[in-house]
Amino acid sequence: MADLPSHLKGGEIRDLGGRLVTPALIDCHTHAVFGGNRAREFEMRLEGATYEEVSRAGGGIVSTVKATRAAPEEILLVEALARVDALIAEGMTTIEIKSGYGLDLETELKMLRTARSIMARRAVRVITSFLGAHAIPPEYAGRADAYIDEVAIPTLEAAHQEGLVDAVDGFCEGIAFDTAQIGRVFDKAKALNLPVKLHAEQLSHFGGTALAARYGALSADHLEHATDDDVKALAASGTVAVILPGAFYTIRETKAPPIEFLRAHGVPMALATDCNPGSSPLTSLLLVMNMGCTLFRMTPEEALAGVTRNAAQALGLDDVGTIETDKRADLAVWNVADPAELSYRIGFNPLHSRIFGGTT
C-alpha cells in the first residue's frame, strides 16, 4: 500500500476474501457467428462417417454456409450472443471470432459486422479474423483458384476497407486450400498490413505449419500432424501454437498435437474452444483446460497460460493476458484455493466475479 501511486490512494478497496485472482480468460480461436447446427452430421460420424467423408458428401462447412447465408443478421447476433454469454460466465473477457461461413462477399461482411456488434451489447472485447479461405463453396466446386481470386481476396479488401478485420486466417488442408492458394491470400493480407494465422496440419501433413512460419503468423492452430521440423520453424518465427482439444475430441482424432516437441523448442501453447457447429460445438474454456491436461498431458500451469498469456500473444495483444502495471484490469476472481483446480474439475464453474477494464 505504501508503494501505491498517489492518484490511486483513497480509492475503493475490495476484500476478495482470499480468493484466487488470475488474468481474465481469452478464447483465441472461435467461429462463434454462424447459422443453423450440424447435429445430424454428429449422428453420421457416430454411424461411421469420417469428417472428410461428411464434408465431401456436401455436409461439413458447406452446410453451415447455406444456413449462414440464409440467416438475417439479427438472428446471427442473437445466437452468437448465447455462445458468448456462456464463455463470459466462465470469466472470459476477450474472444476472437472468425468469418468463413459466408464464402461470398455479402455474407462474409455480414458475419464480421455481427461479430463487431457484440461489443455494443456485452462487456467483452472481440477480435475479428477474416477466414474467406475456409472452404470452396458449391458454386466454385473444382475451381479453388478462381474462388481465391474472384471472391476471397476481393472480399478481404472490402472487409478491410470497412474496418472489419483484425487478422486474416485460412484453412490449409486437402479438403480446403493448398499452400500456394493460402499464400496468395496471405500476400494480400501483408499488403494491407494485417497479421495472419492458419488452420494447419489438422487432418494431414499438408505444409501449413511451415507456411505459417514463413509468413511470421501470429498462430498456427490444430497441429495434430505437425512434425519436429515444423515445430522448430514455429519457434524460429515466434508463432504461437493454438491447441484445440474440442475438435480432437469431437471428431475422434487419434493423433495428438506434438506437445513434447512444442515444449522442447519453447513454442508458446495457447488453448481455445474452436467454438463451431461441426467439429467443436464447445463454449467452455474451463472444459478446454481440462481436456488439454487430460487428453494431451499438458500441465495445469500450461493450461492456464494457454487461456491467458499465450492466448493474448496468439491474438497479437500486449495489454491483456497477465496481471502487470499498465495493462488492462481484465481479471477473473475464483472460488478456488489452487490454480490447478481450474483444470481439475469437470462441468463445474468456480467463477466468483469477472472484472472487465476495472469494472465488475
- Residue list for the binding site for Fe(3+): 29, 31, 199, 274
Residue 331 to residues 11, 91, 122, 136, 340, Cα–Cα distance (Å): 18, 8, 16, 40, 17
Q: Which of 203, 134, 196, 154 has its CA nearest to residue 174?
A: 203
Strands of the sheet containing 240-243, edge to edge, are: 25-27, 92-98, 125-133, 167-172, 197-200, 219-222, 240-243, 269-271
H runs (alpha helix) in the chain: 39-46, 51-56, 61-70, 73-88, 105-117, 144-147, 153-161, 179-191, 208-214, 228-237, 245-250, 259-264, 285-296, 300-306, 309-314, 341-344
**Which residues belong to the annotated binding site?**
29, 31, 38, 101, 134, 199, 202, 274, 276, 278-279
* Binding-site annotation: residue ranges for Zn(2+): 29, 31, 199, 274
Q: Which residues contact 132 (CB under 8 A, 6 or more apart)?
A: 99, 100, 103, 108, 151, 152, 153, 155, 156, 185
Look up residue 58 and give its three cell numbers.
456436401
Annotated binding-site ranges for 4-imidazolone-5-propanoate = 38, 101, 134, 202, 279
Per the annotation, where are the binding residues for N-formimidoyl-L-glutamate?
101, 276, 278
Do residues 24 and 331 lie in contact, with contact meaning Cβ atoms separated by under 8 Å?
yes
How do 20-23 and 25-27 pair as beta strands? unpaired
